[in-house]
Amino acid sequence: MVVLLLLLLLMPLSATATAELCGNGGNYTANSTYQSNLAVLATTLASNASSSPQLFAAGSTGQSPDAVHALALCRGDFGTDTACRDCVATSFQHAQQACPNRKGAAVYYEYDDTQRPGCVVGFSGDNDFVSPANGITENSTLFQSWNSNNISGDGTASVVSADVHNLLTVTAQDAAADTARRYATTVMDSVQTLYSLAQCTPDLSAGDCLACLQRLNGMVNATTSMRLGGRIFVLRCNIRFEAFMFFDQPTRRINPSSIAPAPPGKSMITSCDEI
Ligand SMILES: *[C@@H]1O[C@H](CO)[C@@H](O)[C@H](O)[C@H]1NC(C)=O
Ligand SMILES: *[C@@H]1O[C@H](CO)[C@@H](O)[C@H](O)[C@H]1NC(C)=O
Ligand SMILES: *[C@@H]1O[C@H](CO)[C@@H](O)[C@H](O)[C@H]1NC(C)=O
Ligand SMILES: *[C@@H]1O[C@H](CO)[C@@H](O)[C@H](O)[C@H]1NC(C)=O
Ligand SMILES: *[C@@H]1O[C@H](CO)[C@@H](O)[C@H](O)[C@H]1NC(C)=O
Ligand SMILES: *[C@@H]1O[C@H](CO)[C@@H](O)[C@H](O)[C@H]1NC(C)=O
């Protein structure tokens, strides 16, 4: 019992950060103005995102060259307790551990095999990759992760691939159309039942959100569309699909035969850790 308690204390949220990407915009020095600006902004964003109906906050603090820009986004199925705030605060701590003294970093915090929602944080200095335009067209905050197992069942590969693209397209459209949180979840009965989630930072327009998500959908290629789960993140939007329900509630159930096929995906690179 004591050992179990100790283990729980030693690994609070920490075991499941999906990715920390360290920026290449330089380093700050210990105890500098930049560091204290970052600390202030991290605390403010954690509490502002948590209390915002959109579960999102973004802002800047300080003057150049010590100005810090940052954002925090909690997944759309967070409740009203302090879990969003804790996730954001923990993610900023993760960034500091994984990228010590870096002026910029992005953290994608997601749990692997539970419904528990995660969050996204990003910060930067004068090379402001947090600005909305950045994440929609650039790869500097791109991260992908794929299940190594494949979808199995009666369908041919091309059918499964088309189903996955259609599932992600419908989810992307629903997320873009959601004016409250730019967040949507879908379930589809393909050769296996598949669950998908899409989310943008809610400060994006519907059009920018859809473009951001469909760009990620286009990165799902013939090989990865057969995988039993996958995630693609940029700072401004993300998609995920799994063969299990990893979120609170599907907002829509779709039938693969009832929707028009999506355009085929293009093949793209695995990941990029330069910010
Ligand atoms: C920042 O610090 C990292 C790790 O200490 C180091 O690898 C990197 O070269 C530094 N970057 C600059 C621009 O000094
Ligand atoms: C930064 O401040 C801490 C706490 O005041 C101190 O322990 C540490 O030595 C300082 N580091 C530098 C590089 O000044
Ligand atoms: C946080 O919320 C407060 C109170 O609504 C607001 O004044 C402040 O500008 C917000 N700051 C950021 C960085 O979101
Ligand atoms: C999944 O399919 C790919 C070919 O598309 C194959 O290379 C890989 O070994 C398969 N993975 C497993 C775990 O069977
Ligand atoms: C992002 O990566 C993809 C795949 O490698 C590439 O096709 C695209 O041109 C890249 N975009 C930018 C802005 O570099
Ligand atoms: C598909 O995408 C993955 C992940 O980006 C990449 O590793 C792989 O090379 C791509 N495969 C093809 C056939 O393009």
63 within ligand 2 shell (Cβ under 6 A): no
144 within ligand 6 shell (Cβ under 6 A): yes
- How many angstroms separate the alpha carbon of residue 150 from the centre of ligand 4? 6
31 within ligand 2 shell (Cβ under 6 A): yes
| Mean per-residue pLDDT of the chain | 86
Query: Minimum-distance ligand to the CA of 136?
Result: 5
pLDDT at 275: 41
Which ligand 3 atom is at minimum distance from the Cα of 70?
Answer: 13
Which CATH number is 146-254 given?
Answer: 3.30.430.20
29 within ligand 2 shell (Cβ under 6 A): no
Q: Same CATH fold, 146-254 and 4-131?
A: yes
Superfamily of the domain at 4-131: Gnk2 domain, C-X8-C-X2-C motif (3.30.430.20)
The protein residue with its alpha carbon nearest to ligand 2, atom 1, reads 31
* Separation between Cα atoms, residue 146 and residue 210, nearest integer Å: 22
Contact 110/231 with Cβ under 8 angstroms? Answer: yes
**Rg value, the chain, Cα:** 19
* Separation between Cα atoms, residue 243 and residue 264, nearest integer Å: 21
The protein residue with its alpha carbon nearest to ligand 5, atom 11, reads 138
* Separation between Cα atoms, residue 171 and residue 238, nearest integer Å: 11
* CA atoms within 13 Å, Cβ hemisphere of 198: 30
Q: Name the pLDDT band for 148 (thresholds 50, 70, 90).
A: very high
In the chain, what are the domain boundaries?
4-131, 146-254
Phi-psi region of 31 (alpha: psi -120 to 50; beta: other; left: phi over 0): left
The protein residue with its alpha carbon nearest to ligand 4, atom 14, reads 149
Q: Which two tokens stand for residue 37?
A: 């600006």
pLDDT tops 50 at residue 179? yes
Query: Minimum-distance ligand to the CA of 148?
Result: 4
Stronger pLDDT, 190 or 165, i.e. the higher one: 165
Nearest 5°: phi and psi at 196? -135, 155
* Ligand 5, CB cutoff 6 Å, lining residues: 137-139, 268-269
pLDDT at 155: 67
- Going 215 to 56 to 271 to 25, the CA torsion angle's sign is positive
The protein residue with its alpha carbon nearest to ligand 1, atom 9, reads 26
DSSP per-residue codes, 153-169: SSS-HHHHHHHHHHHHH
Collapsing DSSP to helix, strand or coil, 170 comes out as helix
48 within ligand 3 shell (Cβ under 6 A): yes
State which of 226, 267, 272, 273 you would mutate to test the pocket of ligand 6, scoring each by most atoms of that ligand within 8 A of its C-beta. 267
pTM: 0.87
Max alpha carbon distance in the chain (Å)? Answer: 60
Considering only CA atoms, which of 105, 182, 97 is closest in space to residue 140?
105
Which range has the worst mean pLDDT, 84-88, 115-119, 157-161? 157-161
pLDDT tops 90 at residue 62? yes
Average pLDDT over residues 104-123: 91
The pairing of strands 183-189 and 252-254 is parallel
Average pLDDT over residues 117-143: 85
257 within ligand 2 shell (Cβ under 6 A): no
Contact 117/74 with Cβ under 8 angstroms? Answer: yes
Q: Name the pLDDT band for 205 (thresholds 50, 70, 90).
A: very high
Contact 75/18 with Cβ under 8 angstroms? Answer: no
Query: Minimum-distance ligand to the CA of 145?
Result: 6
